[in-house]
Structure 1
Amino acid sequence: MSIITNQDAFVTEEIMQIVTRERQVALSTREWKHRLAGYGYSIRDTDAGEHVLETLPHRVALCVLPNELFA
């Protein structure tokens, strides 16, 4: 299911750099989510098993995160 449309590839890449860097330094998924909240992002798990990065507080979907970040 693709829920993200009209997303600028450059902006998505910039956001993914932040998300990936924060995942590398976080000791747990919980800490990672807390760190992302400091940047104004949250992760929502979908019924389809995807992890969607959203903005806070309006919950605008930005991109689907790769499963490798959750291993």
Structure 2
Amino acid sequence: MENLNPGAKNQIRELVMRERTMALSEREWKHRLRGYGYAIMDTDEGQMITSLVQGAALCSLPAHALA
């Protein structure tokens, strides 16, 4: 996982969750995230927010994100 400070991880999570509340579907949400350079990837540890540019996992996705 990318070595980010906790503040940066929280900002990324906040952006991802804000976009989730504005999107009408999971598909639209993932499309919106691509515009910011992020993606959601399923891993053994759960869902991770990843960087499209670096291809690296940045932080975990909150469990309630898809609820």
TM band (smaller chain): 0.7 to 0.9
Aligned residues: 67
Q: In the TM superposition, what is the alpha-carbon distance from 1:14 to its structure 2 partner?
A: 1.1
Amino acid at match of 1:60: A
Any stretches of 5+ residues in structure 2 without a counterpart? none
Aligned residue among 3, 15, 37 for 2:12 = 15
- Structure 1, unmatched stretches of 5+, are none
2:32 matches 1:35 = yes
One-letter amino acid of the structure 1 residue matched with residue 56 of structure 2: V
C-alpha RMSD of the superposition: 1.5
Question: Could you tell me the TM-score, scaled by structure 2's length?
Answer: 0.88
Under a length normalisation based on structure 1, what TM-score does the superposition of the two structures give?
Answer: 0.84
Identity among equivalent positions (%) equals 45
Runs of 4+ in 1 over 3 A off after TM superposition: none
Q: CA 1:5 to 1:60, structure 2 compared with 1: closer, same or farther past 3 Å?
A: closer
After TM superposition, the structure 1 = structure 2 runs for residues 1-71 of structure 1, keeping only pairs within 5 Å, are 4=1, 6-46=3-43, 48=44, 50-71=46-67
